[in-house]
Structure 1
Amino acid sequence: MKNKSHLLTLFLFCLSIIGNVNILSAQSEATPFTEIKGKVVDSKNKSPLAFADLVINNSNVSTITNSDGEFILKIPNTSSKDVLVISRLGYEKKEVSISSLTNGIKIKLEQAITQLSEVEIDTYKNAKTLVLETLKKKSSLYNNDKTLMTAFYRETIKKRRRNASLSEAVVQIHKSPYNSYKRDGIELIKSRKNTDYSRLDTIAMKLQGGPFSNLYTDIIKYREFIFTAEDMDLYNFSFGEATQINNNMVYVVNFKQKENITTPLYFGKLFIDSKTLALTSAAYSLNVENKELSSQMYIRKKPRKVDVYPTETKYMVNYRTQNGKWHYAYSNISLTFKVNWKGKLFNSVYTLNSEMAITDWEINNTKFAKVKENIIRPTTILIDKTSGFSDPEFWGEYNIIEPEKSIESAIKKIQKQLKRT
């Protein structure tokens, strides 16, 4: 069985202080777009709906709601007569005319009621067989052209509930065909950061891999990071209650490692379109019961007097279809670690979150340059790479995922707390 540590690697080291980098927010006076802020909620209980897809019809412009159901969508002026399509797993698709959108709009989605026919129930009695069939579909159902994707990436590190580091970047993904074994390439276009570790702790935590970590959650393209051929027999697969997405019936397959397996493996749910057998989304976690082994999968470097181990891990990936082909659209990774200093009474808890959303894409069969100053590699640490790529005026032109709190307000809150202490 292969080591899964390359899916997301945590890099730790000792340091005394890292200074602040101020972030300015500015927008060009003449903007070729209109910015709309809003929220997507359940029509009955009014609860916010996280990770809902918002796509302008007949275009590649899109965004995704955050954990509070909020979104910011920057709509090109040329799309003023188009339609915004809102969809989410388990809910009926909704279409809203762009001209009717107003700031602060609350979009309500109706829950989808799914009833399986006897034919649909009997088609796949074995959940593992269904998963294997889905994994075989990458050459026929997924985009097999070289694609240039524009993506927004955010990386956040919190100590308990306090933000310690926030980084954002716009990247271009040189996505290789799904039927190719060639790895994808990522080019850093613009980035900004605001980091203040001083007085928060003498441990600095950094994510190694940056946008690659999220890209590798693409199970169809990078099956080997979670379901190697050898690993399939180490899992139990079972059917969950079916649901709907975009008015299509979706199989839900639960998976977890067998009880006699001690090596940390993943557990979660796969959502598979019943008609095409395409993987539409997945939500899964790593089994971290074995602290020592799970720690080895994430920790690359740490001080000798410190024990660091994960207490919770969450991964999510969404796919989108266009022109009859599926492609990677969004992923979110959340990792919680406990840091114990030997000889100290209290421990520290850190949460590292990274998310990446595709905001635009186009077929581009040109060759990807191998040597470029702004190419990101799987070993890149984003917050170290961002110097020289911060351009305040640039950030007005891209759809972003609205965070729970803005970078500016989060850092101000940290600074106020530091002054109090």
Structure 2
Amino acid sequence: MLCTLFISLQSFAFQPSEIEYVEYKGEVVNANNGRGISSAYLSLNNSNISTITNADGKFSLKVPEDLIEATVTISVLGFQSKTLPLDYFKPEETVIELEETVEELTEVSLYKATNASLLVKEMLAKKDDNYLSDQSLMTSFYRETIKKGWNNVSLSEAVVKIFKSPYNSNKKDLVSLYKARKSTDYDKLDTLALKLRGGPFNTLYLDMMKYTEYVLRPEMMNSYDFKFDDATKINDRYTYVVDFREMDQSDPWYFGKLFIDAETSTLVKAEYSLNVDDRDAAAAMFVKKKPNGSKVYPTELNYQVDYAQNNGKWHYAYGKAQMDYVVNWKRKIFNSKYKINTEMVVTDWQAYAGNDWKKSVDLINPNIVMVDDVSGFYDSEFWGSNNIIEPEKSIQNAIDKIKRKMNDE
């Protein structure tokens, strides 16, 4: 599903947006200990606008001026959801506390599902009923980071337009880069330019209910072992948790958790991994080009996908992939370790019945490699009114260094 490629890049830039908006920043924290909560979903009610917190619990939410009377719902797995008026939010240092979910979920609360495998099959059978049946146009924010050891060596960000085909259609989604920027510190990469092929498609293809061919192929259901784990609540709704694991472990194999709404049998979240203990097989799957004298292979691959509901229909809302790679050189004592993180959140969407959008933009190829655009990090107004995921501390420090270096030149 994901792979790397070693190639050279070209640059591009976009003009800032002129849409007026109000920006609110803050942190979502655990009410018990004050720690930041990652991947908390903030949704502006009665609109399609949303965002998500970063690994530190920080968020940035941009709202059009004419929607300032709205309310915002904050939700995340393991915590009680909370709805707040927009006037609670501040331009800086908004603090939102969420209480942990401690309710014990009984069989009565969770209806009567007793067979985990049958529940997953029912989830797939109800896809056409539970997910978007009309095509839509989504606006998303994509971030891709590459670390060598503890140092950020490559940062890419983009506002992405997605032409999302219906879930009951075999048509692939189409993607256009609306705005993008990137910087790579090739000095810290030594002589190795590690680049990820696929760009935003890597996180878009994590949509398990749209792209069932990657993990949950209906014809392969009998090749998985499904077991119930402890139930939970998501968005204050009772949710089954199903552990799954491929039984054939001769090649890289999937395992993880499916979070299935108890009332509708809808997949609302998935956290899963690909076992890559077989280094040669994993390298053949994910490494498409490498320098002579080196051996490159993944050591850990973790994925997450979240869905959001609107008017009774669910759709892809957030995808994240975390990938660890090792590079061994024949004549070097120590190897090099790289971490590649990609994530994409849908920040706005609308039903879209026409085809004129596809004629007015440049669609990107699923094999795209994000291109270099150093000047993007210099422009403080680059993103305009588009919602983004707040940079984590280490990423923000890297961006600040880039800005300082450019100011000194």
Q: Give TM-score scaled by structure 2 length.
A: 0.91
SS at match of 1:224: coil
Q: How does 1:82-97 map to 2 (within 5 A)?
A: 82-97=70-85
User: What CA distance in whole angstroms lies between the structure 2 residues aligned with 1:22 and 1:230?
Assistant: 43
Q: How much is the aligned-residue C-alpha RMSD, in angstroms?
A: 2.8
Q: 1:254 and 1:149, CA in 2 relative to 1: closer, same or farther beyond 3 A?
A: same
Which of 223, 230, 240 is residue 241 of structure 1 equivalent to?
230
Q: 1:69 and 1:408, CA in 2 relative to 1: closer, same or farther beyond 3 A?
A: closer
Match of residue 211 from structure 1: 200
1:257-278 per-position Cα deviation (integer Å, ceiling 9, x unaligned): 22x5211111111101000111
Offset at 1:74? Answer: 1.0
1:201-256 per-position Cα deviation (integer Å, ceiling 9, x unaligned): 21111111111111100000001111223432222111111110121100001112
Which of 105, 110, 129 is residue 116 of structure 1 equivalent to?
105
Match of residue 93 from structure 2: 104
Which of 116, 127, 139 is residue 127 of structure 1 equivalent to?
116
Which of 4, 7, 32 is residue 10 of structure 1 equivalent to?
4
Aligned 8 A contact 2:182 2:370 in 1: no
User: What CA distance in whole angstroms lies between the structure 1 residues aligned with 2:404 and 2:339?
Assistant: 21
Which of 304, 317, 328 is residue 340 of structure 1 equivalent to?
328
Match of residue 4 from structure 1: none
Which of 290, 294, 305 is residue 317 of structure 1 equivalent to?
305
Which of 38, 41, 52 is residue 50 of structure 1 equivalent to?
38
SS at match of 1:383: coil
Which of 145, 148, 152 is residue 163 of structure 1 equivalent to?
152
Which of 257, 263, 266 is residue 254 of structure 2 equivalent to?
266
Which of 221, 228, 237 is residue 210 of structure 2 equivalent to?
221
Which stretch shows the higher mean deviation, 240-249 or 120-129?
Answer: 120-129
Match of residue 76 from structure 1: 64
Match of residue 401 from structure 1: 389
Counterpart residue type for residue 12 of structure 1 = F
Counterpart residue type for residue 183 of structure 2 = N
Aligned 8 A contact 1:174 1:368 in 2: no
SS at match of 1:268: strand
User: What CA distance in whole angstroms lies between the structure 1 residues aligned with 2:160 and 2:243?
Assistant: 33
Which stretch shows the higher mean deviation, 386-395 or 210-219?
Answer: 386-395
Aligned 8 A contact 1:191 1:391 in 2: no
1:113-137 per-position Cα deviation (integer Å, ceiling 9, x unaligned): 3433334567222211111111122
User: What CA distance in whole angstroms lies between the structure 1 residues aligned with 2:384 and 2:22?
Assistant: 10
Aligned 8 A contact 1:338 1:348 in 2: yes
Q: 1:127 and 1:88, CA in 2 relative to 1: closer, same or farther beyond 3 A?
A: same
SS at match of 2:140: strand
Match of residue 187 from structure 2: 198
SS at match of 2:194: strand
Counterpart residue type for residue 42 of structure 2 = L
User: What CA distance in whole angstroms lies between the structure 1 residues aligned with 2:219 and 2:389?
Assistant: 37
Q: 1:411 and 1:345, CA in 2 relative to 1: closer, same or farther beyond 3 A?
A: farther
Q: 1:187 and 1:82, CA in 2 relative to 1: closer, same or farther beyond 3 A?
A: same
Match of residue 231 from structure 1: 220
Which of 147, 171, 178 is residue 182 of structure 1 equivalent to?
171
Match of residue 147 from structure 1: 136
Q: 1:391 and 1:213, CA in 2 relative to 1: closer, same or farther beyond 3 A?
A: same
Offset at 1:396? Answer: 2.2
User: What CA distance in whole angstroms lies between the structure 1 residues aligned with 2:111 and 2:60?
Assistant: 43
Which stretch shows the higher mean deviation, 298-307 or 317-326?
Answer: 298-307
Q: 1:256 and 1:246, CA in 2 relative to 1: closer, same or farther beyond 3 A?
A: same
The alignment covers a number of residue pairs equal to: 403
Q: 1:396 and 1:81, CA in 2 relative to 1: closer, same or farther beyond 3 A?
A: same
Counterpart residue type for residue 165 of structure 2 = S
User: What CA distance in whole angstroms lies between the structure 2 residues aligned with 1:264 and 1:348?
Assistant: 22
User: What CA distance in whole angstroms lies between the structure 1 residues aligned with 2:81 and 2:393?
Assistant: 28
Aligned 8 A contact 2:124 2:218 in 1: no
